[in-house]
Structure 1
Amino acid sequence: MNPITEDDIANYLANSPDFFERHAELLASVHLTSPHGNRAVSLQERQAEMLREKIKALEHRIMDMVRHGNENMVISDRIHRWAKSLLLVQSTRALPATLVAELEREFMIPQVALKVWDVDARYAQDPFAQGVSEDAKSFASSLAQPYCGVVSGVEAVSWLPDPSTAMSIALIALRPGAVNGSGPAFGMLVLASPDPQRFQSGFATDFLERIAELASAALSRLRPR
């Protein structure tokens, strides 16, 4: 006959929920080591400690959810105000400058640069349509999603007002129809910060993708019809 193992006992107790009802006196005599010291505590006290720990963990999770919810609401409000400012621009030629200025203001981004190409002939000589190499255009088209990371000899950094202070950047390709991730790009946004952690590699890009969609849709007014 095989000896009874701990697994046998555990299986029996798991399948006999009324065992401790029939032997209630055992609960009072069982003592465990407390995780908060070497003292022995009763099974009921240990269960109470475990319950308090679970409640505390749930409270932390709830607080995290509330904090993230508030942060998302703030971001949503800023995107709303930024999109509204783009809709209110009457002069198409003024749209790029307004887009950049409002992006800097609403999201407190130290530096923003914008270049747009393949524009209507009326805008071909404007500063926002000048100074972009074919390599930069190809690079923009190759971005399936916004790029975040450190500055590493990217041509687009030279579009910034003060490239030497850019320690981290986000590069956002702009595409016709606001389609992010496919098709040739017709422009690129550059966001830069002196903080190396502001746009770090691995950064969640959901927010930047919304920026790409809205900017692409707005700047489509500059393209030939």
Structure 2
Amino acid sequence: MNPPHNAAMNPITEDDIADYLANTPDFFERHAQLLAQVQLTSPHGNRAVSLQERQAEMLREKIKALEHRLMDMVRHGTENVVTADRLQRWTASLLTSRDPRGLPYQIVEQLQSLFLVPQAAIKVWDCESSFQNEPYAQWVSEDVKALATSLTAPYCGLNSGFEATAWLDDARAAVSIAMIPLRSQPDAPAFGLLLLASPDGQRYNAEMGTDFLERIAELASAALSRLRP
């Protein structure tokens, strides 16, 4: 004969109760009146609510969270369509441009206007001799060239005094920047550097994806090949 259960020595725990209810699904069928008597604390105050009302509140919260996620997806989808449309317009303008000499200026001006970039600048080196007197082909140090070549992807982050920010109209307003190397092939040395800058410290940050900037780099590099020997 088993000894009587000593509740004082082996008290029933919350886990024991939860275990029992989980493994006895017909408990509330046999004690249906308990469901109406259970009172829980509402998350929207200290008042007590019934189990059914608490379940309804939880369901409403889940529905609201799903609605927010759906709204975010719609918003991001709309933003992506707008960005794709602007990129297509920018690409078309580069393809139809008949003025190679003015391409670097065009790239910068249209990036600023189409994508609302506060400041932008570009430098291109190793140009044909007929372009070497243009401002974009001058005053590029070997350090900047080496930095551009070392970048395997666009750099996005805070401006920690990079030399290239001196190309901007107002370097002090360049809090966050994107430095985009321009090259003819993925493994080739850089022949230029495109710089985007913003006074917003989060506009270009280390956590952001660079796929879009890489497309910008490929298109700009292809267009600027007309300046090179």
Q: TM-score range by the shorter chain?
A: 0.7 to 0.9
Shift of 1:183: 4.2
Aligned residues: 221
Deviations 1:111-138 (A, max 9, x none): 2211112234443343322211111100
2:167 is aligned with 1:159: yes
Relative to the length of structure 2, the TM-score reads 0.84
Q: Is the 8 A contact 1:85 1:102 kept in 2?
A: no
Q: Structure 1 residue 193 and structure 2 residue 198: aligned?
A: yes
What is the match of residue 210 of structure 2?
Answer: 205
Which residue in the other structure is 1:139 paired with?
A: 147
Determine the C-alpha separation between the residues in 1 that align with 2:155 and 2:223: 21
Whole-Å Cα distance in 1 between the matches of residues 22 and 131 of structure 2? 76
184-193 or 14-23: bigger deviation? 14-23
Name 1:98's counterpart in structure 2. 106
Identity %: 66
Q: What is the match of residue 222 of structure 1?
A: 227
Structure number with bigger Rg? 2
Among 6, 20, 23, the alignment partner of 1:15 is: 23
CA distance in 2, matches of 1:18, 1:113: 72
Cα pair 1:167 1:195 within 8 Å, conserved: yes
Give the distance between the partners of 1:117 and 1:133, measured in 2 at CA: 10
- SS of the residue corresponding to residue 109 of structure 1 reads coil
State the TM-score, normalized to the length of structure 1.
Answer: 0.85
Q: 1:33 aligns with which of 4, 20, 41?
A: 41
Displacement of 1:86 in angstroms is: 0.8
1:200 is displaced (CA, Å) by 4.3
TM-aligned CA distance change 1:48 to 1:212, over 3 Å: same
Matched residue SS, 2:140: coil
Task: State how far apart, in whole Å, the 1-side matches of 2:182 and 2:138 are.
Answer: 16
Could you tell me which runs of 5 or more consecutive residues in structure 1 were left unpaired when the two chains were aligned: none
Q: 3-state DSSP class of the match of 1:176?
A: coil
- Per the TM alignment, residue 192 of structure 1 is displaced from its structure 2 partner at its CA by 2.2
State the Cα RMSD in Å.
Answer: 2.3
Residue identity matched to 1:198: R
Q: Within the alignment, does 1:24 sit opposite 2:29 as a pair?
A: no
Deviation at 1:75, TM superposition (A): 1.6
**Aligned equivalents of 2:39 and 2:170: distance in 1?**
68
Please say which of residues 74-83 and 117-126 is displaced more in the overlay: 117-126
Deviations 1:147-186 (A, max 9, x none): 2334333221122234344343221111223x3xx54211
